Structure formats: C-alpha cells, structure tokens
C-alpha cells in the first residue's frame, strides 16, 4: 500500500482500495491459488492488514524496542536541473538504509539540504555520482569543504563513472590553499576530514556492507557517456535511481522487482516553451537524451514498481508529465518535490515538507 502525507498538518491520501489490496498482497507473497478472492473478502483482509500495519507503525514511532522493521528512507534533496531556481535545487538524493547514509549526485544546494535535515556530515560521507554533468557535481566542493568545516573528521568517499577520480584530484588541487590554511595554519582542522577517497566504477556491485548493497548499472544518456543509474537493496526492500537517461533497456532490467523507481523526466511541451536560451537545434538535442513523460510511463509499465516518482524534472514547472505517463501506466506515481521523503517498508509512506 502507498500512503501519502502532505505538510505538517495535512491530510493523508490513499490509493484506491483495489490498489491497496494489490500492493498489500503483493508484499505478503501468498501461495498461489486458483480460487479467486471476492472483492468484499479482499477489502476485509486489507482492512485487517491495514490495522495491524498501522499499529506496528505507531509502536515503531514510539520507539518500542524490537518492533521497528528494517526499511529504506529516501529523501529528494533536489529535484531540479541546471536552472538555478529556488523551488527545485540541483539533483541530489539521500538514501538511508540501516546505519548507512548515501548521497546520489551532489547538485546545487545539497549541503544546505543536509544541514536543514540535521544530517551529520560524518554520517553522510558516501557520494555516488551518476555522471559528470555540472548540475550533478557542482555541489561537491561545498559538501566536501563545508562538511569538513562543520565537523566531518572522516574522508569523503566518492564513487562514480570513469573520470570521477580525476575530477576529485583536480578539486583537491583547486582548493589546496583553503585546505592548507584550515588544516595546517589556522583552525587546525583534522586532516582526515579533508581527505578524499575516489573510485571510478563500472556496472556491477559498487558497495556492499551490513546487508546494504549498492549496484551501479549503465544507462543511455545519449552522447554523455559513461552514465550510471543505481539500485540500493536492504532487508528485502529496494529503490532504483535512473540518473539521467532516455529509455534504457538496461535500467528496466536492473529495476525489476524494485519497490520504488525514481526516474528523471522532461515535459516536452513545457520545455520547448520555456527554454529561451538554446537554439531549436540545441533544444532538440537535449530532448533526445532525456525521457519524456509518455516514455517514462512505458518504463514504469514494464518495471511495475510499487511506487514511481519523478525527479530531475525539466523544466522546473512540468504540468504534463503525470498525464503523459498515464497513457501507459496506471500505478502509483508522484511528481517529486524538494525534501519529499519516502519510507520503504511493508508499506510505502510519502512525506512532503510543509508548504
């Protein structure tokens, strides 16, 4: 079941009862049977399961020892693109699984969002990059150096496609003066906090520890190569992040069975009307290596996640992407917002920041 919460005092919105039955029973994985469940029976079972799940959630929220279930929490730190708008910060997603906190991409404002959420920079020390476009990497110096100034005393660990290690090495060179001053002469900050451990990776398992597995896979971002998507698995749950891509058969393959699929999107009509910087030819090139709302609907229909979410939204105002996806996909779908969080467990809960 997918549950949505809006604002601090907002109401809760549930998907239709038939969707509730489908997602609850899908998670329980009942034995196959040729006997068809009638609608009243299914709804009755759903109500019982909903009550039990709600009680369990309340106990977990009250901190009852041993009652909380392992889950993944995803927070959209920034859902935007290169445009420097306040409503959508640059692309960045925080994934918390077990005791691990991972950042995926580090666009404009990612550090401010972590500070806003009171996430310790010592804990958010692992960064995975989908590709090296500036809107996905421009926040790295801020995360690295401000995180150090604000108390990080462990190295910043970075994984990404070919070129990542070289980029991080050059950032160390570019900020050598600042590091030298703060480490050696002025505040005498711990040297380990200014260290960087960077790794170029290819498709495959990039990280696995404490039951958390991060798998990288290649996606199709047109001429922008290499480009990666990621899947995080923990305690029987998963989230898949598309990165920047047009329709990718490889993404569809790696996303099979995922609970939540977070996918980029481009509103075709709105983008053509809004972009006054590029020429017509440049606009069409951009469109050619992204995924339209209708194309995203095709991807969702083939992956069949418990929940689909749009992020990296082009342009920032994209009024058509939900309706476009509905031509092919009828399942739960959300237009991502900055600071929207998604709890992935036996239920999926969506929390939106107060307006």
Contact call for residues 136 and 108 (beta carbons, < 8 A): no
Q: Hey, what are 165's tokens?
A: 């290690």
Count CA atoms within 13 Å of residue 258 on its CB side. Answer: 31
Task: Please pick, among 105, 125, 135, 338, the residue that the annotation labels catalytic.
Answer: 135
How far apart CA 134 and CA 142 sit, in angstroms, is 14
Q: In DSSP terms, which residues pair with 349 in a beta bridge?
A: 3, 343
- CA dihedral for 303, 305, 308, 312, sign (positive or negative): negative
How far apart CA 329 and CA 310 sit, in angstroms, is 13
Residue 335's Cβ-count burial label (10 Å; 0-12, 13-18, 19+) is: middle
How far apart CA 66 and CA 165 sit, in angstroms, is 41
How far apart CA 71 and CA 236 sit, in angstroms, is 9
Eight-state DSSP code of residue 37: P
Residues near 41 by Cβ (< 8 Å), separated by ≥ 6?
Answer: none
184 catalytic per annotation: no
Q: Hey, what are 186's tokens?
A: 């002025």
Range list of H helices, the chain: 17-28, 39-61, 110-116, 134-137, 140-141, 147-149, 164-174, 176-180, 249-254, 268-274, 280-288, 293-303, 321-325
Residue whose entry in the numeric block shows the structure tokens 């989908």: 130
SS3 category, 4? strand
How far apart CA 165 and CA 159 sit, in angstroms, is 8
Catalytic residues, by residue number, are 135
């Amino acid at each position: 079941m997918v549950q949505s919460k809006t604002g601090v005092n907002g109401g809760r919105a549930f998907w239709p009862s038939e969707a509730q039955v489908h997602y609850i029973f899908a998670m329980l994985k009942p034995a196959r049977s040729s006997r068809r469940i009638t609608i009243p029976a299914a709804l009755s079972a759903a109500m019982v399961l909903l009550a039990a799940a709600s009680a369990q959630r309340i106990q977990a929220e009250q901190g009852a020892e041993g009652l909380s279930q392992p889950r993944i929490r995803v927070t959209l730190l920034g859902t935007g693109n290169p445009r420097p708008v306040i409503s959508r910060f640059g692309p960045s997603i925080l994934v918390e699984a077990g005791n691990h906190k991972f950042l995926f991409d580090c666009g404009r404002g990612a550090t401010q969002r972590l500070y806003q959420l009171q996430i310790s920079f010592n804990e958010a020390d692992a960064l995975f990059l989908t590709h090296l476009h500036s809107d996905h990497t421009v926040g790295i110096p801020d995360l690295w150096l401000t995180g150090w100034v604000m108390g990080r005393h462990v190295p910043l660990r970075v994984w990404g496609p070919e070129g990542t290690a070289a980029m991080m090495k050059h950032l160390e060179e570019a900020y050598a003066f600042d590091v030298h001053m703060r480490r050696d002469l002025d505040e005498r900050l711990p040297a380990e906090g200014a260290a960087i451990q960077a790794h170029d990776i290819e498709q495959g398992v990039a990280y696995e520890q404490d039951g958390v597995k991060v798998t990288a896979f290649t996606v199709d971002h047109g001429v922008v190569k290499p480009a990666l998507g990621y899947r995080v698995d923990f305690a029987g749950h998963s989230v898949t992040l598309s990165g920047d891509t047009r329709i990718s058969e490889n993404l569809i393959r790696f996303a099979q069975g995922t609970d939540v699929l977070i996918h980029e999107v481009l509103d075709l009509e709105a983008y053509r009307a809004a972009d006054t910087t590029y020429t017509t030819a440049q606009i069409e090139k951009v469109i050619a290596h992204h995924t339209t709302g209708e194309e995203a609907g095709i991807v969702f229909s083939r992956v069949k996640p418990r929940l689909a979410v749009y992020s990296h939204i082009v342009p920032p105002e994209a009024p058509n992407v939900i309706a476009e996806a509905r031509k092919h996909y009828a399942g739960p779908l959300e237009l991502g917002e900055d600071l929207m969080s998604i709890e992935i467990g036996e239920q999926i809960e969506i929390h939106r920041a107060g307006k």
